[in-house]
Amino acid sequence: MEASNSHSFLSLVHLFVLFLLLCFVVTIEANSKKKVSAFYVFGDSTVDPGNNNFIDTAFRSDFPPYGRDFVNQAATGRFTNGKLGTDFLASYLGLKELVPPYLDPNLSDKELVTGVSFASAGSGFDPLTPMLGNVIPVAKQLEYFKEYKKRLEGTLGKKRTEYHISNALFFISAGTNDYVINYFSLPIRRKTYTTPLTYGHFLLQHVKEFIQNLWKEGARKIALVGVPPMGCLPIMITLNSHNVFLERGCVDKYSAVARDHNMMLQHELFLMQLNFSNTNPAGAKISYLDIYGPLDDMIQAHQNLGFDEVDRGCCGSGYIEATFMCNGVSYVCSDPSKFVFWDSIHPTEKAYYDLFMAARPTIDALING
């Protein structure tokens, strides 16, 4: 009897300790979330929740089967079957479940205060890239942010707006279109920048300029995503294989460009961080978010991570379809969660969630640092 009572007592102690640990973890997460006042997103289709719905461009996805696994199967303009990685991140930060597009005329003040996306599918750092699809340049996205700040000042006042912005998280995802749609596909830039390396340096100048301008506007926590293994995008495999049905492996010469770009990007961000720290002790904190490694793992070790298909998208043949070519009459796979890619360019919701999970430690360090 005494042994039984002793065992019960120890069990209660263990449960109590576990309860305290759980409370501790929850408190830490809650405190970290409170450190972020809002979430602002800039870039391309990987983070555009539907801004392109409100401009005159063919780079749109506001029609089925896009959004097939979204709430009410709504095709919001997100280039995937459900949520984007930025949606998962906004939810994790405790701000909102979905990041809305800034150009949505029906946005409430509450939605505006906690953050929006200015991103536009088809955009890039190279000023020529958005011209190819008549989409919103990154520089224009910054102008929209300045416009947004004025609207916020009307709600919060100037001082509160400055404090609000300084405690917000800024998220940038662009660069892939500059290479895939622009440099690799058209001769214009290759005439001036004869190697991907020299073109990469050109892009990084625009990256630096954009971050410096964000800093001038009050940004203090900035996360910038690298480029993915571009040679593994289904469309790149299709366009660069002798037999698109039999040769579906990654084309490493394009992924090698991505690796070089990401190395240069990390170096430039490190130098910028040093400069901000030296000139202003309370300067911006800049973090590089690796998309290459996690996406490459999904492809190379796909079976261990729950994916069956890695070299084609879920929509249509998966070889070439994207935007209007992935449409209401296209064949759609039965289980997108088994696919890394939704169309021939963009990840599925499951892949975006895994990318978000891979980025979480870096985000935590950024917002708590």
Q: What angle do CA 230, 235, 240 make, to 5 degrees?
A: 80
How far is 44 from 48, CA to CA, in rounded Å? 6
Catalytic annotation, pick one of 45, 61, 120, 255: 45
Q: Residue 254 is encoded by which pair of tokens?
A: 């394009």
DSSP 8-state code for residue 101:
B
Distances (CA, A) of 28 to 33, 35, 154: 9, 11, 33
45 is known as an active-site residue: yes
346 is known as an active-site residue: yes
Virtual CA dihedral for 297, 299, 300, 304, nearest 10 degrees? 70
Catalytic annotation, pick one of 44, 87, 311, 343: 343
Inter-helix orientation angle 138-156/196-216, to 10°: 10
Number of H helices, E strands in the chain: 13, 6
User: What count of Cα atoms within 13 Å lies in the side-chain half-sphere of residue 106?
Assistant: 2
Q: Residue 157 is encoded by which pair of tokens?
A: 């006042």
What residues are annotated to the active site? 45, 343, 346
